[in-house]
Amino acid sequence: MSEASVDKEKLPDGGGKTQDVSDVFGRLLEEPRLQEFKGNYELHGIIGRGGYAEIWVAKDLQNKRTVAVKSLREDKVEDQQARNAFIQEARLMLYLQHPGIVPVYDFFKDSGGRLHIIMKLVLGRTLDDLLNQAHEEYKGKTPREIESKERVQMAERLKIFLKVCDMVAYAHEKHVLHRDLKPANIMLGKQDDVYVMDWGIAEPHEGDEPIQAPEDTTGTVCYLAPEIIRRKKYDERSDVYSLGLVLFDLVYLHPAFVQMDEHLTCYYAVRGKTSHRKHEYGYRVPNWLRLVIDHAIWLDPDKRTPSVAFLMEQIRRGMAYDASLWGRLKRLIGL
């Protein structure tokens, strides 16, 4: 898809129909906007860098506010694949309107041909940071101290996970797959906001038809569904699998597939050979939660948890059961 053809492309809507991208983009890519970026935004420090883009903190001079600017890297300006991916990300972020998806304010192409997405600046930390904090807190703690603290902390992490699931379920309703769900792409804001970030390889699709995985597999291998690694057809259940691996991290406090040689990771992933399914610090994980994880990361998509909505319902029911059980126990012992 070239930039010139963007207006003619279509995106699926929530009802399985399509709408013109021009309805989503407005007039954001028109030529008169070419010179507007430099005079309207003042770039400060870089806060993130990826395969084809970098994220800056910037000052919106016209609206007097601090924003985030995601810019196509200078070395990728002539890379048509990177440009297409960048435009696709902007399209989808404009298309998906959800409190957990960072709002996009504007889109520019400067005189050097570099593309810029202007969006809300989210201050906070990633889910990876939260997990690292848990490891720091549990160093040197006794099993009893960990048991008491982890009961509360795990419940909080599950609440965060449910918010993530809600966002992904919304995207699925709009026929969009995220395709790169992992703790590093989940941002926790300062007001208990939770955002699903990095829609760079997200993929819209029509109706219930599965997508054929490309020969050049994209995504983070240790969170990638086995059917994508095998270059088979995939659908929403591939995002369910990735969410299951995120849940694995949150519950057991260690990843299912440790970062290693990419080929070795693929070997283990397509065979379901995860790391040990036990809590890193000996916490007694409820059986229902173990089963939820196991079903979410089932190798065969047809036997896997069928949808993100179903995954959410399982967790809510389990948490309600645990809360009820803990309440009865406290009354029994007089707490």
What residue type is 306 in one-letter code?
P
**For a pLDDT cut of 70, what percent of the chain falls above it?**
85
Residue 160 confidence (pLDDT) above 70: yes
134-141 contact pairs (CB < 8 A, 24+)? 134/253, 135/253, 135/280, 138/280, 138/281, 141/281
pLDDT, residue 330, reads 61
Higher pLDDT, residue 314 or 211: 314
For 180, the token pair is: 């790169």
Residue that has been written with the tokens 């040990």 in this structure: 276
Average pLDDT, the chain: 85
Query: Could you read off the pLDDT of 272-281 as tens digits, one per residue?
Result: 999 999 999 9
- Distance between CA atoms of residues 327 and 237, nearest Å: 35
Query: Could you read off the pLDDT of 44-80 as tens digits, one per residue?
Result: 889 888 888 999 999 999 899 999 999 999 999 999 9
Over range 183-193, report the average pLDDT: 91
Asked if 200 and 50 count as a contact pair (C-beta separation under 8 A), the reply is yes
pLDDT, residue 31, reads 40
Residue 120 confidence (pLDDT) above 90: yes
Characterise 118 by phi-psi region: left (phi > 0), alpha (psi -120 to 50), beta (else): beta
Among 2-16, 34-48, 85-99, 150-164, the minimum mean pLDDT is found in 2-16
Contacts with 50 (C-beta within 8 Å, 6 or more apart), sequence order = 198, 200
Residue 179 confidence (pLDDT) above 70: yes
Characterise 205 by phi-psi region: left (phi > 0), alpha (psi -120 to 50), beta (else): beta
Higher pLDDT, residue 242 or 334: 242
pLDDT, residue 333, reads 62
Residues designated as active site: 180
Dihedral angle sign, alpha carbons of residues 102, 97, 93, 169:
positive
Q: Domain 124-332 carries which CATH code?
A: 1.10.510.10
Query: Could you read off the pLDDT of 204-220 as tens digits, one per residue?
Result: 887 677 888 877 767 88
- Distance between CA atoms of residues 270 and 272, nearest Å: 6
For 5, the token pair is: 């053809």
Sequence spans of domains, the chain = 3-120, 124-332
Among 32-46, 126-140, 191-205, 293-307, the minimum mean pLDDT is found in 32-46
Among 127-141, 207-221, 308-322, the minimum mean pLDDT is found in 207-221
- Ranges of beta strands (E only) in the chain are 10-12, 18-20, 41-49, 53-60, 65-72, 104-109, 115-120, 124-126, 176-177, 186-189, 194-196, 203-204, 211-212, 233-234
Q: Does domain 3-120 bear CATH number 3.30.200.20? A: yes
